[in-house]
């Protein structure tokens, strides 16, 4: 036994029916280290985590140790008792409750064993231990910033054990803007310095290069590299993940220099919970980026435009008003949306890849009163191939696909019908770097083919990479519009953070205003 070892996995494999998705994984996570687990979508990261947490049983022949003691894989009781703790991307917090109530709900310590004052003190201590003493135990979770919410989930996970050998953070920062994610790194380092090993799963290479001590890379279910961070840089990490250099040329399409097409979408006085009187016009061939911090209204825009959320104001497509609160009518009119909440709004988990792809328009396959299954299968095979969905079998159920591959199917669902307006909400969240480049290429091709694209994203690099125009939202309104060379990640982040009343023009005189179409 290595005394430095917090968790050691040996010969861990996982086979679903006939497909082996994890093969003979040997992985050692050392005490006090931040160990990043990386790999493309479907490479086996979540499967590894689910075996550790006891959600999946591994194939026979696997073994494990925690703190040098034999550990039973595939048992959630064993994981809990051994002190393995997990924070997933969705955090598992109840927004309407206070921080302390959330601790009580999520704790394995038992509810209400302490008096209220003692509970609050305990919660305050747990938060202070990771450097988030500014969060009040009485605060409502809904009122916290995104990194504070993540910190609450982490503090809660650590709260009921004096020694936690392993904390697994499964993409906890994937929805956070870059600067927000960084505020959690200090908390992670404090935790690691106390001797807890952190297994950190992230698709953000720059974050991993900044925070991890060692990196393990999975490719197609096999460990293909394990390196100390000093031995890695961005390109080497990409090469390990993809098995090749990222040479794919993106469609470089400088749409800013081209005349804009016909105005396809007109939005007048749009309002929702936060959004307050927004006017927009989006033309054929444009990619309009919508930027803003959580709570600025930017996160509400896709729901309002799609009709998923109740809205005030008028949304019209080529002059025809789309009825409010009616997503089906919006889709029929040609305004299609890829929502951020895949599980809740987009994926039919029990359905197959084929069904999830083609449901956007089945009439393509009706011929003379009969459904042409062969035509549907041919069409689906082409899209699965073009989008590089894995596994490639279109009869797989969506639940069997990794998160990133599900996302490709959902984006493909709408790309294939060539919508008039395509609203994308965090389209590459949880998507690996190779697939991200693929999806970006698709978004550009879709715009080049004449679709008006609205890209709502917290990834400022993605916004700068794809948008012909970016509206930055604050306090429910468009606070700034950036066009052309003025669209940089730094400019977007700068304007997201400005407080209302700031003299922006004086701060960034180089930023253009849009030429409003009348």
Footprint of ligand ATP on this chain (CB under 6 A)? 16, 21, 39, 41-47, 390-391, 399-404, 430, 432
CB-wise, 51 or 288, nearer to ligand ATP? 51
Query: Closest distance between ligand ATP and the C-beta of residue 431, in Å?
Result: 7
Determine the Cα–Cα distance for residues 350 and 405; give it in Å rounded to an integer.
15
Q: Give me the half-sphere count of Cα atoms (radius 13 Å) on the Cβ side of residue 275.
A: 29
CB-wise, 122 or 203, nearer to ligand ATP? 203
CB-wise, 186 or 393, nearer to ligand ATP? 393
Contact 408, 439 (CB under 8 A): yes
b/e string for 16-35 if b means 16 or more Cβ within 10 A?
eeeebbbbebebbbbbebbb
Query: Closest distance between ligand ATP and the C-beta of residue 50, in Å?
Result: 7
- Taking each helix axis from N to C terminus, what angle separates 489-497 and 178-193, rounded to the nearest 10 degrees? 80
CB-wise, 39 or 412, nearer to ligand ATP? 39
Residue 431, both tokens: 């998507």
CB-wise, 58 or 430, nearer to ligand ATP? 430
> Residue 25's closest CA among 47, 55, 1?
47
- Taking each helix axis from N to C terminus, what angle separates 373-387 and 403-415, rounded to the nearest 10 degrees? 120
Report DSSP letters for 457-501, one per residue.
Answer: -S-HHHHHHH-SEEEEEETTEEEEEEEGGG--HHHHHHHHHPPTT
Query: Closest distance between ligand ATP and the C-beta of residue 198, in Å?
Result: 17
Determine the Cα–Cα distance for residues 385 and 58; give it in Å rounded to an integer.
30
CB-wise, 44 or 427, nearer to ligand ATP? 44
Phi, psi at 279, each rounded to 5°: -110, 135
Query: Closest distance between ligand ATP and the C-beta of residue 195, in Å?
Result: 27
The residue whose two tokens read 């008792």 is 81
Query: Closest distance between ligand ATP and the C-beta of residue 43, in Å?
Result: 4
Q: What is the 3-state secondary structure (H, E, C) of 68-133?
A: CEECCCCCHHHHHHHCEEEEECCCCCCCCCEHHHHHHHHCCCCCCCCCHHHHHHHHHHHHHHCCCC
CB-wise, 168 or 470, nearer to ligand ATP? 168
> Residue 82's closest CA among 25, 161, 152?
161
Query: Closest distance between ligand ATP and the C-beta of residue 489, in Å?
Result: 23
Determine the Cα–Cα distance for residues 121 and 314; give it in Å rounded to an integer.
50
Query: Closest distance between ligand ATP and the C-beta of residue 293, in Å?
Result: 25
Query: Closest distance between ligand ATP and the C-beta of residue 84, in Å?
Result: 17
Query: Closest distance between ligand ATP and the C-beta of residue 57, in Å?
Result: 12
CB-wise, 198 or 470, nearer to ligand ATP? 198
Distance of CA 93 to CAs 86, 88, 133, 241, 414, Å? 13, 11, 18, 32, 31
Contact 206, 175 (CB under 8 A): no
Q: What is the 3-state secondary structure (H, E, C) of 342-395?
A: HHHHHCCCCCEHHHHHHCCCCHHHEECCEECHHHHHHHHHHHHHHHCCCCCCCC
Instruction: Decide: helix, strand or coil at residue 155.
Output: helix
CB-wise, 174 or 467, nearer to ligand ATP? 174
Query: Closest distance between ligand ATP and the C-beta of residue 397, in Å?
Result: 8
CB-wise, 262 or 385, nearer to ligand ATP? 385
Residue 202, both tokens: 């992230």
Query: Closest distance between ligand ATP and the C-beta of residue 462, in Å?
Result: 17
CB-wise, 317 or 398, nearer to ligand ATP? 398
């Amino acid at each position: 036994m290595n005394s430095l070892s917090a968790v050691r996995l040996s010969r861990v494999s996982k086979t679903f029916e006939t497909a082996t998705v994890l093969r003979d994984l040997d992985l050692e996570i050392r005490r006090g280290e931040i160990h990043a687990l990386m790999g493309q979508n479907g490479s086996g990261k979540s499967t590894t985590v689910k075996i550790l947490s006891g959600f999946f049983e591994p194939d026979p022949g696997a073994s494990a140790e925690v703190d040098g003691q034999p550990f039973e894989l595939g048992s959630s009781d064993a994981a809990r008792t051994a002190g393995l703790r997990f924070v997933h991307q969705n955090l598992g917090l109840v927004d309407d409750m206070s921080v302390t109530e959330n601790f009580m709900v999520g704790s394995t310590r038992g509810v209400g064993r302490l008096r209220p004052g003692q509970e609050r003190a305990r919660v305050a201590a747990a938060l202070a231990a990771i450097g988030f003493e500014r969060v009040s135990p009485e605060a409502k979770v809904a009122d916290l910033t995104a990194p504070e919410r993540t910190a609450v989930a982490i503090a809660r996970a650590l709260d009921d054990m004096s020694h936690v050998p392993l904390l697994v953070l499964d993409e906890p920062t994937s929805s956070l803007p870059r600067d927000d994610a960084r505020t959690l790194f200090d908390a992670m380092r404090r935790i690691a310095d106390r001797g807890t090993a952190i297994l950190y799963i992230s698709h953000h290479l720059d974050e991993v290069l900044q925070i991890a001590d060692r990196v393990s890379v999975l490719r197609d279910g096999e460990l293909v590299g394990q390196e100390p961070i000093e031995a890695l840089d961005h390109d080497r990490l990409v090469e390990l993940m993809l098995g090749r250099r990222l040479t794919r040329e993106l469609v470089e399409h400088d749409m800013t220099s081209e005349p804009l097409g016909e105005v396809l979408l007109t939005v007048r006085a749009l309002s929702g919970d936060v959004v307050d009187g927004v006017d927009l016009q989006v033309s054929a061939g444009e990619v309009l980026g919508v930027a803003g911090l959580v709570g600025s209204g930017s996160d509400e825009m896709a729901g309002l435009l799609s009709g998923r959320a109740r809205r005030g104001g008028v949304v019209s497509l080529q002059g025809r008003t789309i009825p409010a609160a009616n997503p089906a009518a919006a889709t029929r009119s040609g305004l299609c949306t890829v929502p951020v909440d895949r599980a809740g709004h987009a994926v039919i988990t029990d359905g197959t890849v084929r069904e999830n792809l083609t449901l956007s328009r089945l009439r393509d396959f009706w011929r003379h009163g009969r459904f042409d299954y062969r035509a549907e299968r041919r069409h689906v095979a082409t899209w699965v191939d073009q989008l590089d969905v894995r596994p490639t079998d279109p009869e797989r159920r969506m639940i069997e696909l990794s998160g990133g591959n599900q996302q490709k199917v959902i984006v493909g669902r709408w790309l294939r019908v060539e919508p008039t307006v395509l609203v994308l909400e965090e389209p590459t969240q949880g998507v690996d770097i190779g697939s991200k480049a693929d999806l970006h290429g698709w978004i550009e091709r879709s715009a080049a083919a004449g679709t008006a694209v609205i890209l709502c994203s917290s990834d400022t690099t993605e916004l700068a990479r794809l948008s012909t125009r970016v509206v930055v939202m604050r306090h429910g309104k468009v606070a700034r519009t950036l066009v052309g060379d003025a669209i940089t990640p730094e400019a977007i982040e700068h304007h997201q953070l400005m407080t209302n009343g700031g003299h922006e023009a004086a701060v960034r005189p180089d930023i253009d205003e849009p030429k409003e179409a009348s």
